[in-house]
């Protein structure tokens, strides 16, 4: 039986000073918004979840060079489906294998109409530097992704979202699901160019490259730190940076559709 055409986008709950004048990192908006759009256009029902049911937006992701007029219109429209679901995030405890998800905050009836089961075919970890802080310890999100991987679903991440992978364990091997897999993610060179590597070290967190290596994966660098780049290795789909969010989601959909052909 093919997995249901439903996608679950994970969102970081963390936030911390990263940019000049103490401006904070958090969810990089387009890294959730662009996949949301891709999945919806491909006929998926889409839910959003974070470890605590909360989020904070990344400061840089709200700037004009990173949030174009079309995206900003959706972001600033609290009645848009994306913003409504983002502002009423699910928590892992709301998603039970044999139960209907109960949102952490009330949603409108149209949002609940599709909730006739809790099974998803794609798990997508959106990002922002803040993901480095909470994803490594996000046991609820990791458990969901592990169960989905075991069920034969697609597990995907973009940019710093790969910080969640070391904790997503394949029970068949007792190793991370990316062990032996080719993955990409935000480059250490990119961290250096942004001047944030020391801050990441102060969080006592590894870069995405280091985390991938520690999990036994084969890290593949994009042509350049900011070039759109996505990579699929079986049911693991990864993307390199904010510019890759759209193509990573497209690759996840391709991988999902291929499940029905196998």
* Residue of 15, 34, 129, 160 marked active site: 160
Other Cβ atoms within 10 Å of 97 Cβ, number:
10
69 CB-contact burial (10 Å; exposed 0-12 / middle 13-18 / buried 19+): exposed
Rg (CA), the chain: 17
Residues 66-119 have pLDDT tens digits of 999 999 999 999 999 999 999 999 999 998 654 333 344 444 433 433 333 458
Please confirm, yes or no, whether 34 is among the known catalytic residues: no
Q: How far apart are CA 129 and CA 18, in angstroms?
A: 8
pTM to 2 decimal places: 0.92
Is residue 31 scored above 60 in pLDDT?
yes
160 in catalytic set:
yes
Given 34, 159, 209, 251, which residue is catalytic?
159
Q: What is the pLDDT of residues 5-17, one digit of tens each?
A: 999 999 999 999 9
What does the pLDDT average to over 196-218? Answer: 97
Tell me, what's the pLDDT at 106?
Answer: 43
CB contact set of 165 (below 8 Å; sequence gap of 6+): 157, 176, 177, 178, 183, 211, 212, 215, 217
Two structure tokens written together for 188: 């250490």
The token pair at 30 is 């387009």
Q: Which of 45, 191, 250, 251 is catalytic?
A: 191
CATH number for 6-259: choose from 3.40.120.10, 3.40.50.880, 3.40.190.170, 3.30.1330.30. 3.40.50.880
pLDDT in tens, 133-164: 999 999 999 999 999 999 999 999 999 999 99
Q: How confident is the model at residue 238 (pLDDT cuts 50, 70, 90)?
A: very high
Per-domain residue ranges of the chain: 6-259
Active-site residue 51, yes or no? no
pLDDT at 119 (0 to 100): 86
Name the band, by pLDDT with cuts 50, 70 and 90, for residue 1. low
Residues 34, 13, 143, 40, Cα dihedral to 10°: -20
Average pLDDT value for the chain? 91
pLDDT for residue 97: 52
Within 10 angstroms of residue 227's Cβ, the number of other Cβ atoms is: 13
Section 171-195 average pLDDT: 97
Largest CA distance in the chain: 52
């Amino acid at each position: 039986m093919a997995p249901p055409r439903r996608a679950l986008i994970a969102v970081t709950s963390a936030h911390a000073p990263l940019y000049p004048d103490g401006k904070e990192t958090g969810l990089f908006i387009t890294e959730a918004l662009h996949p949301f759009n891709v999945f919806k256009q491909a006929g998926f029902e889409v839910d959003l979840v974070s470890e605590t049911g909360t989020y904070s937006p990344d400061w840089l992701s709200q700037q004009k060079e990173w949030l174009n007029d079309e995206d900003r219109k959706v972001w600033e429209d609290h009645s848009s489906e994306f913003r409504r679901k983002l502002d009423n995030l699910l928590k892992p405890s709301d998603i039970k294998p044999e139960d209907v998800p109960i949102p952490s905050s009330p949603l409108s009836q149209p949002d609940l109409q599709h909730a006739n089961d809790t099974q998803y075919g794609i798990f997508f970890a959106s990002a922002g530097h803040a993901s480095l802080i909470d994803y490594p310890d996000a046991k609820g999100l990791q458990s969901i992704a592990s169960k989905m991987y075991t069920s034969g679903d697609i597990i995907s991440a973009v940019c710093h979202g790969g910080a969640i992978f070391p904790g997503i364990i394949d029970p068949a091997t007792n190793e991370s699901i990316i062990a032996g897999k080719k993955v990409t993610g935000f480059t250490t060179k990119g961290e250096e160019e942004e001047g944030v590597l020391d801050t990441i070290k102060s969080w006592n967190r590894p870069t995405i490259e280091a985390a991938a290596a520690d999990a036994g994966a084969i890290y593949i660098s994009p042509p350049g730190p900011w070039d759109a780049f996505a990579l699929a290795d079986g049911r693991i789909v990864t993307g390199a940076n904010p510019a890759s969010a759209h193509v990573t989601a497209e690759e996840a959909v391709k991988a999902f559709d291929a499940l029905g052909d196998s």
